[in-house]
DNA sequence: CGTTCAATTGATCAGCGTCAAACTAGGTGG
DNA sequence: CCACCTAGTTTGACGCTGATCAATTGAACG
């Protein structure tokens, strides 16, 4: 484990306030790995032997059942994933694969649990992170059940816009096929939904989004912090 | 706070192993209340001043947006709810109302957070509970995105059956209208889905369910622990 | 300059929601 | 004890949303 990574990891909210000795203990068993795109990191159902941290690139969390597959979320640097399974010493509920060339840190779950029991600062950080994740899934679930696909797309665009700089022009960060799955629709339907947003001033060419009539889109999307604000 | 409740609360997994002094500290500010059916306990968006524990009866967690409403889950004794908002000192993401006459304990969030910082056993229990909740929502989200409404109903029946005694006959514990909302469909559609399960040996009269051809239903439902086993 | 895969478009269809009406059951009061 | 009221449930008819299938266009890459 090179020191350059260590400093970066150390600055993550989840590791920030823990004791040096405990951080070292976790790092001792950890290793960093570089993956090309489209590599399976995790398969749902496996035992959660590692907690993961994405350092660069992006990782898709997805789930399958009966031959179907859906994108649950996309994890970007710098964040953890599969924390709950590690804590509970349970099986992964989701699979994970790299979308781009990615650097991922893998921390043995048993080490994480051991340090959790010894370092209260770390425990506090883990709970905060876990609560955050929980709330994110609840928001996602609310969106799925309460909004139509057009409304989901409209709100996704507004969230993406806010995540960048709030400007009228910005980029989609994942391919449309994945976006469709994440929003709970088919690629074809997403394509049509994009067209349906044209009267609201939305133009999407390739990965470039332009929002010409912000107010109109907002009026359609009716965003609420209770669903759309990641920090709420 | 009567002592009879205290013992009951003390035996909850989340409070079981914490120090006596800390338990007393939490109980000092707590109070128990009896509610009739259909009483609003919590409104989404409010600050999470209390953590709740259902002692008897049942509580519906639901969410609203733009005039629409959906049932997120039904909480039964003895379990906590709205733990994440308490931990994060954030706003409720869901609303809650009693479905039946219910007894609910309310613990001031600030007390819970304070004791969390002081009692490691309690912290451990909170994390476990939170991880459990997280995984439950993920499973629910997977079900929504990967299964049709008929499949969701079929699996719900099997889960409900497993939750009681595994017998061919059992009772639905919530009214069909709520069940429909929980499963992400309309009451009318649920009614038709029930009929569509008849060829698979399912009969539902009122709240009584009879599963005559277990194998057929299982073959349709294709249950998996990764979605359907609450303990997995 | 092909090759390949994503994205789009069109046509069709199934699933599901909506609306309206009929039916049922549980509870209340005469 | 019965009639009635109310609310949940069921049924039917209809229409819209979104999925599926098939074919075309477009874009990235070697």
Q: Is A84 exposed, middle or buried (0-12, 13-18, 19+ CB in 10 A)?
A: buried
Cβ(A29)–Cβ(A22) under 8 Å?
A: no
Q: Are residues B137 and B159 in the same domain?
A: no
Cβ(B88)–Cβ(B110) under 8 Å?
A: no
Which of A100, A124, A144 is the endpoint of a domain?
A: A144
- Residue B54: CB less than 7 A from any atom in strand D: no
C-alpha dihedral sign at A209, A215, A218, A219: negative
Which of B85, B116, B144 is the endpoint of a domain?
A: B144
- Number of structural domains, chain A? 2
The domain in which residue A172 lies consists of 147-228
Q: Are residues A162 and A124 in the same domain?
A: no
Q: Are residues B11 and B124 in the same domain?
A: yes
Q: Are residues A18 and A116 in the same domain?
A: yes
Q: What is the pLDDT of residue B64?
A: 94
Q: Are residues B136 and B179 in the same domain?
A: no
Q: Are residues A129 and A163 in the same domain?
A: no
Q: Are residues B9 and B101 in the same domain?
A: yes
Please identify which residue in the block is written with the tokens 């990764």.
Answer: B226
The CATH number covering residue B33 comes to 2.60.120.10
Which of B84, B119, B144 is the endpoint of a domain?
A: B144
- Helix, strand, coil: what percent of chain A each, to 5? 50, 25, 30
> In the numeric block, which tokens belong to residue A75?
């994890």
Listing DSSP states for A35-98 in one string gives: E-TT-EEE-TTSB--EEEEEEES-EEEEEEETTEEEEEEEE-SSEEESHHHHHHT-B-SSEEEE
Q: Are residues A151 and A77 in the same domain?
A: no
Half-sphere exposure (Cβ direction) of A93: Cα atoms closer than 13 Å? 32
Q: Are residues A115 and A158 in the same domain?
A: no
Q: Per residue in B118-143, pLDDT tens?
A: 999 999 999 999 999 999 999 999 99
Q: Per residue in B36-64, pLDDT tens?
A: 999 999 999 999 999 999 999 999 999 99
Q: Are residues A195 and A104 in the same domain?
A: no
Return averaged pLDDT per consecutive 10 residues of chain A, 232 residues in all.
81 92 92 91 96 93 94 92 94 95 93 92 93 96 95 96 90 93 94 94 92 94 96 92
Q: Are residues A202 and A127 in the same domain?
A: no
DSSP A230: T
Give which of B142, B222, B229 to mutate to test A binding, by max A Cβ within 10 Å: B142
Q: Are residues A103 and A194 in the same domain?
A: no
With a cut of 70, which residues of chain B have pLDDT below it?
A: 1
Looking at beta carbons, which residues of chain A come within 8 Å of B135?
84-85, 88, 90, 93
Q: Per residue in A77-90, pLDDT tens?
A: 889 998 999 999 99
């Amino acid at each position: 484990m090179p020191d350059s990574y260590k400093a970066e990891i150390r600055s993550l909210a989840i590791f920030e306030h823990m004791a040096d000795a405990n951080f070292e203990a976790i790092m001792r068993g950890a290793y960093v790995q570089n993956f090309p795109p489209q590599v399976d990191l995790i398969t749902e159902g496996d035992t959660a032997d590692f907690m993961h941290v994405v350092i660069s690139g992006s990782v898709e969390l997805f789930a399958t059942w009966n031959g179907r597959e859906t994108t649950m979320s996309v994890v970007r640097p710098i964040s953890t994933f599969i924390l709950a399974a590690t804590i509970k010493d349970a099986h992964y509920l989701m699979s994970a694969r790299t979308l781009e060339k990615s650097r991922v840190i893998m921390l043995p779950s048993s080490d994480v649990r051991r340090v959790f029991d010894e370092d209260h600062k770390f425990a506090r950080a883990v709970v905060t992170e876990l609560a955050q994740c929980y709330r994110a899934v609840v928001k996602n679930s609310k969106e799925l059940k309460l909004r139509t696909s057009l409304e989901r797309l409209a709100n996704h665009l507004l969230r993406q816009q806010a995540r960048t700089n709030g400007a009228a022009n910005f980029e989609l960060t994942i391919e449309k096929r994945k976006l469709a799955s994440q929003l709970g629709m088919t690629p074809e339907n997403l394509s049509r939904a994009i067209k349906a947003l044209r009267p609201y001033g939305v133009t999407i060419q390739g990965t470039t989004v332009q929002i010409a009539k912000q107010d109109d889109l907002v009026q359609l999307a009716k965003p609420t912090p209770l669903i759309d604000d990641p920090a709420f």
